[in-house]
């Protein structure tokens, strides 16, 4: 009996009571960005890997003022529609990300925000435009990765998009997610996030050394930043956003063992912790990061448990 108690305590030290716990299940929820290099393979392959619960197609790099540009970096648009349906048949959500670090986008007015919302509905969600890039495939929602331009009217855009919930086939809702930078509040998305209409928020804890996690380094600053984000979004699931390889970002890469044994126990204390977001499918495919963090997570439980039981 004492050994079982010690094993449970050891598991808690790794941030999870047992593999069937709520925290463990949430760590298995991985969102990944796809669409910025043909070398990452097809969308179908990403969903068929069984690694991800959500795939975000990126990016709509141009919008506002009646101009729209979808940039999938050489991917065949004609293949995306059937792949979206395949993903959804496997229970994987597929969203379209708007914005990104390269492009030309902004919202000049509330009316402009309404026009962009209508475009997204007609071309990607439940609308009936004859020029839908992915044919009759209906995406599950929209992700806001706003890094350029002015922050105005993204709150309006979020409300307009959320108002389309219930109008999709089968009365399904429009999922809204966002990817703010970890410095709080996010300069571009602060007002939008205060609307409370976002289902998930994938906070980018990378490319920002002041709040990113560094193994053996700034755990206190990281924890404070995480708590601030989690407490400010009580109605949203908050995801820990990370690069899937050292080369995927300028800073913020966390080795799998450090993530499992050090960073995850911090974020899992929040009741609205939702899982992990990775940039990107290309890098994850090269490094196997998503597999490694799951393995490291449960290996931490096993190894610490064995050491405690043998004491």
- Catalytically annotated residues: 147
Mutual orientation of helices 2-13 and 289-310 as an angle, nearest 10°? 140
Distance CA 49, CA 55 (A): 12
Is-contact 95 54, C-beta < 8 A?
Answer: yes
**Residues sharing a CB contact under 8 Å with residue 89, sequence separation 6 or more, in sequence order:** none
Distance CA 88, CA 82 (A): 10
Which one, of 239, 235, 207, lies nearest residue 143 by Cα? 239
**DSSP per-residue letters across 100-148:** ESSSEE---SHHHHHHHHHHHHHHHSS---TT-TTTT----EEEEEE-S
Residues present in the chain in total:
311
Which one, of 87, 83, 107, lies nearest residue 189 by Cα? 107
Task: Report residue 259 as tokens.
Answer: 């993530």
DSSP 3-state of 24: helix
Distance CA 131, CA 122 (A): 9
């Amino acid at each position: 009996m004492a050994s079982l108690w010690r094993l449970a305590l050891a598991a808690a030290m790794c941030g999870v009571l047992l593999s069937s716990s709520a925290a463990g299940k949430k760590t298995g929820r991985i969102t990944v960005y796809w669409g910025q290099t043909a070398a990452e393979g097809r969308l179908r392959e990403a969903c068929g890997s069984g690694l991800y619960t959500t795939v975000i197609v990126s990016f709509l790099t141009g919008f506002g003022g009646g101009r729209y540009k979808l940039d999938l970096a050489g991917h065949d648009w004609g293949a995306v529609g059937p792949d979206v349906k395949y993903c959804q048949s496997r229970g994987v959500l597929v969203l379209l990300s708007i914005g990104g670090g390269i492009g030309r986008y902004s919202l000049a007015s509330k009316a402009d925000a309404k026009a962009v919302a209508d475009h997204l509905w007609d071309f990607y969600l439940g609308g009936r435009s004859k020029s839908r890039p992915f044919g009759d495939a209906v995406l599950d929602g929209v992700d806001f990765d706003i890094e350029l331009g002015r922050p105005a009217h993204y709150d309006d855009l979020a409300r307009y998009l959320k108002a389309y919930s219930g109008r999709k086939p089968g009365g399904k809702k429009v999922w809204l997610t966002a990817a703010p930078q970890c410095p709080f509040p996010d300069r571009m998305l602060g007002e939008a996030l205060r609307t409370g209409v976002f289902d998930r928020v994938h906070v980018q804890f990378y490319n920002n050394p002041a709040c990113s996690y560094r193994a053996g380094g700034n755990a206190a600053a990281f924890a404070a930043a995480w708590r601030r984000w989690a407490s400010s979004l009580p109605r949203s699931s908050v995801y820990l956003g990370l690069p899937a390889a050292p080369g995927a970002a300028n800073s913020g890469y966390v080795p799998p063992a450090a993530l499992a044994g050090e960073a995850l126990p911090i974020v899992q204390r929040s009741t609205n912790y939702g899982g992990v977001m990775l940039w990107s499918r290309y890098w994850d495919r090269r490094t196997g990061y998503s597999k490694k963090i799951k393995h490291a997570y449960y290996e931490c439980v096993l190894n610490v448990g064995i050491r405690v039981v043998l004491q």
